[in-house]
Amino acid sequence: MRSNPSLRRRFALISVLAVLNVAPRSDVQCAEPTDVRITQLPGKLRIEIGGDMFCEYNFAQTNSRPFLYPILGPGGLAMTRNWPMREVEGEERDHVHHRSFWWAHGDVNGVDFWSESAKAGKTLHDVFVAIESGPKFGVVRSRNRLVKSDGSVVALADQTMRFWGGRDERYIDFEVTVRAPEGELVFGDTKEGTMAVRLAETMRLKPNKAGLGAGHIVNSEGLKDGDTWGKRARWVDYHGPVDGQLVGLAIFDHPKNPRHPTWWHVRDYGLFAANPFGIHDFERQPAGAGKLVVPAGESVTFKYRFYFHRGDEKAGAVAAKYEEYVHAAEAGH
């Protein structure tokens, strides 16, 4: 049987360290396709899977909120829009607040955290509770403050992100628990929110001014394309070409989320958002029908899974992947 040169080198290193009575460092291990490494850089974290870049978490307080950008899906394909973080020819420059991947809502105790207007609130990073690399998963836990334009605190948000996957499929589990520092917390009824992604221009359903866009949308209830906007569904998949390859993103609504299955603010220009609060807009109900009140001293938690895959929803087996998510949730994972 042929010997493995990389194993010989590792055994030699371990032998030398043993003689010196030094424990081997984990970062000299050969990266497997599932290894997740998280590196802290100025103002951001870099997340790598199997030695390849997956995404970066931008948390500098100079931004309107923390966000993920870039996000590289299967085959290292960039699956979210570059603007406004980077100028790229052919991309639309609408909605400056659509920063790749983010969580925000347009009415929290009367304050707009969705837009980036002069009166809008901001979500500020406070501290990392944990940054964990691992052989299968990477985890980032952080605490954020939702503040008004005058700096006063509206709400506190504890956030957890878990990253894993391989070359052909990648995942992010996102969880946020929100509470008010005092008094009740009110999420207002507006379509402007909440768990959101702005996809690559070539993936959008409606072509932009440069002619980019050949994507499609499908949800768990069998609705497609424009019919998916404002409808309730357990999951939605948005897929389209990137650099000539068909890839997709499915977002799963956790079965224990408030108001599951959620409504979807999913647009033909690439905005892709789960929003459990916009009932007035989505279903033409009376104003305020979607308001959610969290009593003083309590909190509300939302969880979502992001599944980056090759092909359309069938090639990516999205329905089966969602069932796996449900079974894990039922098991308490």
pLDDT of residue 274: 98
The pLDDT tens digits for 166-178 are: 989 999 999 999 9
pLDDT class for 332, splitting at 50, 70, 90? confident
| Phi, psi values for residue 24, rounded to 5° | -65, 140
Average pLDDT, the chain: 91
**Which tens digit of pLDDT belongs to each residue from 277-299?**
999 999 999 999 999 999 999 99
Torsions phi, psi for 71 (to 5 deg): -125, 120
309 neighbors 221 (Cβ within 8 angstroms): no
Helix (H, G, I), strand (E, B) or coil at 119: coil
Q: CA 262, CA 231: separation in Å to the nearest integer?
A: 8
Q: How far apart are CA 308 and CA 314, in angstroms?
A: 13
Residue 37: φ, ψ to 5°: -120, 130
**Residue 15 pLDDT exceeds 80:** no
pLDDT of amino acid 97: 97
What pLDDT score does 1 carry?
Answer: 39
- CB-based contact 248:312 (threshold 8 Å): yes
- pLDDT tens-digit readout, 81-94: 999 999 999 999 99
Is the pLDDT at 324 greater than 90? The verdict is: yes
Q: Give tens-digit pLDDT for 174-228.
A: 999 999 999 999 999 999 999 999 999 999 999 999 999 999 999 999 999 999 9
Q: Which two tokens stand for residue 140?
A: 């980032």
Q: What is the largest CA-CA distance in the chain?
A: 75
Q: Angle 62-64-68 (CA atoms, 0-180°, nearest 5)?
A: 95
Residue 20: its pLDDT value, please?
Answer: 30
pLDDT digits (tens, 9 = 90+) for 123-169: 999 999 999 999 999 999 999 999 999 999 999 999 999 999 998 99
Contacts of 282 (CB under 8 A, 6+ apart): 191, 229, 230, 231, 263, 265, 275, 290
Q: Hey, which residues does 301 pair with through a beta bridge?
A: 177
pLDDT at residue 333 in the model: 73
Confirm if 120 and 106 have CB atoms less than 8 A apart: no
31: number of Cβ within 10 Å = 15
Q: What's residue 33's pLDDT?
A: 57
**H or E element at residue 284:** none
- The confidence band for 7, taking pLDDT boundaries of 50, 70 and 90, is very low
Q: Which residues contact 41 (CB under 8 A, 6 or more apart)?
A: none
Backbone angles phi, psi at 234, to 5 degrees: -75, -30
Q: Looking at residue 167, what DSSP letter applies?
A: S
The predicted model scores a pTM of 0.90
What is the pLDDT at residue 11? 33
Q: Are 215 and 199 in contact (CB under 8 A)?
A: yes
